[in-house]
Structure 1
Amino acid sequence: MIKQEFWQSSFWKKCRSFFLISIFANLYRKSLEWKNILLSKILCPYYAFLAKGKKLPEEKEPFTPIYVSLTSYPARINDTYYVICSLLAQKVSVNKIILTLSLEEFPNQEKALPQKLLDLKKCGLEILWADKNLKPHNKYFYAMQKYSKAAIITIDDDILYPRKTTKKLIESYRKFPKAISGLCTCKLIVKNNKILPYSQSIPCYDTTILFPRHDLSVEGFAGALYPPAILPKETFNIEAIQKCSPIADDIWLKYMELLSDIPVVCAAKYRDPVVISKVQENALYKINKNQDQNDIQQQKITDYFSYIDFNKKVLKTIQL
């Protein structure tokens, strides 16, 4: 298997300019889209079947309950049902699934939700209603504050999660209770005593497994586990979020982790989850990536916290 670092190398970047390679790259991306479409059609009803009649257990981990938290919006709310079903079908069950929705987008509250989604409340789903719409930040912001004694696993609303997702994250949490555990991470690069833009970070899909590091950042779409009340108070500063990083929750959370010297650990070798393709038209990652919004918001965070030397913090890699 080719290491992920290769795909970020200067050699590969030069190769990508060749016509034939660009053609094959486009064909490969197209094949992934077709794969997701096909697997979505198979896995959506499969997970719905597995989740039927399933109820999350009340028994908790010896030291804390484990909750899953996500958010959604009207364009995706129908497919969010299948995402939650994939969480109910996990090999290792969590204790609660929390779906945070904003009153701004759902003014009629439960009347605007599909009945099949509401039926999951009997299985262990809780719906939180947010007065202020923080968009992608909704997936952690309200749940972490309401359930400060629980470990929170954050997920996205357009992914069908493999059945060992929670198992891998919880096993990592048991080994590293003072670190953030993620199933997909990237490595921030420091050059000339400066953190390079987020777009130049290196994916760490198959390296640095089970080794807590300060230079790793969680790619939240694949799933991430946050120990109870581990993030600093500044994480929940609404004014700072809206000013610096309104649509880049992963970057905001990474810098909050650096504020408190909290390391990140890649919990397992990366495995592509299945994306529900038809709900990707409004995906934030396209805006953040294609319009360099990740880099812009990263710079705004560093400017806002100009009194913090984030460069030194990134280089401070420790093993817990």
Structure 2
Amino acid sequence: MKLKEYIPAMKAAYRLKRVPLQTLKANTDKLLPLIVTLTSIPSRLNIIDLTIRSLLNQTTKPQKILLWLNEDLRHQIPKKLTELEGDIFEIRYQKELTCSHRKLIYSLLEFPETTLVTCDDDLIYTSTWLESLYKEHQQHPNSVIANECRMICYDADGELLPYKQWKMQKDANIADPKLLPIGYGGVLYPAHALHPDATNQELFLKLTPKADDLWFKMMSFLQGTEVRRSSMPSPKPTPIAGSQKISLKKTNVRQDGNREQWQALSDHYNVKL
């Protein structure tokens, strides 16, 4: 975490911790018809309660918030996380996947007719984050909606450029086949937005073992689903202090693992955007 991010992170955490449990867990009459789904790793179990608090503190709450964890962690969950469980927030355990894809895979399998929203486990989201995504979904009900996107880029010869040269998009309300939703900002997937291969564990572990964003992007492309950057992107979420001790950034960005994995996807499906 950069030094300039530390003070805002501490302030955001302090404000969330002051919100009463009763308020966070309250089941209001008006719930958005969608499920927020995410996953986590052992090193973040002690801080993910802040992410969950921010999701429970939305101006309009979802029907469910599902946190998918490996079965091995069942008896390692801190009280400050379990005390948030209730009608809306639920921890579910599974034995198979340990990769980041599980944030969406298991919810796709269990709720195939439901709109799903993914987010990351090391961030604090603004209180209007979910309501904003849903309003965009109402305007474009068949599109994948993302707050943050990059554009998959090729050189003049049609060769895939390094991931660092895939430009972050500053323009809002845009749609393009090359648009890649970036998971940390939150991504909304309507029901049936992804190709049937989306839940094929053998394939995604082979082609994109460390890049769920790329896998789900290809699945939306194969399904013919439009990807849009929101017309009113939410403010960037606030990183949680101490959450980046373990991450995929070194492999996927610094060592250009994202380019390699997108190339593997493109070769397998014979796709060139």
Report the TM-score when normalising by structure 1. Answer: 0.79
Cα distance in 2 between the residues matched to 1:130 and 1:57: 29
Q: How many Å apart are 1:260 and its aligned residue?
A: 1.3
Cα distance in 2 between the residues matched to 1:178 and 1:192: 33
Matches within 5 A, 1:194-273: 194-204=159-169, 206-207=170-171, 209-267=172-230, 268-269=232-233, 271-273=235-237
Q: 1:160 to 1:304 in 2, by over 3 A?
A: same
Gaps of 5+ in 2: none
- Secondary structure of 1:122's match? coil
Cα distance in 2 between the residues matched to 1:173 and 1:124: 21
CA RMSD of aligned residues (A): 1.8
Q: Which amino acid is 1:135 matched to?
A: C
Deviation per CA, 1:54-86: give whole Å up to 9, x if none.
22446455xxx2111110111001111010001
Cα distance in 2 between the residues matched to 1:218 and 1:194: 21
Q: 1:58 to 1:270 in 2, by over 3 A?
A: closer
Cα distance in 2 between the residues matched to 1:100 and 1:219: 20
Cα distance in 1 between the residues matched to 2:17 and 2:77: 17
- Secondary structure of 2:188's match? strand
Cα distance in 2 between the residues matched to 1:129 and 1:188: 34
Q: Is 1:79–2:80 an aligned residue pair?
A: no
Match of 2:8 among 39, 48, 53: 39
Identity %: 26
Which range moved further: 125-134 or 173-182? 125-134
Q: Does the aligned pair in 2 maintain the 1:198–1:298 contact within 8 Å?
A: no
Q: Which amino acid is 1:243 matched to?
A: K
Q: Is 1:100–2:68 an aligned residue pair?
A: yes
Q: Does the aligned pair in 2 maintain the 1:57–1:94 contact within 8 Å?
A: no
Cα distance in 2 between the residues matched to 1:227 and 1:171: 13
- Per residue, is there more helix in 1 or in 2? 1
Gaps of 5+ in 1: 1-31, 315-320
Larger radius of gyration: 1
Report the TM-score when normalising by structure 2. Answer: 0.92
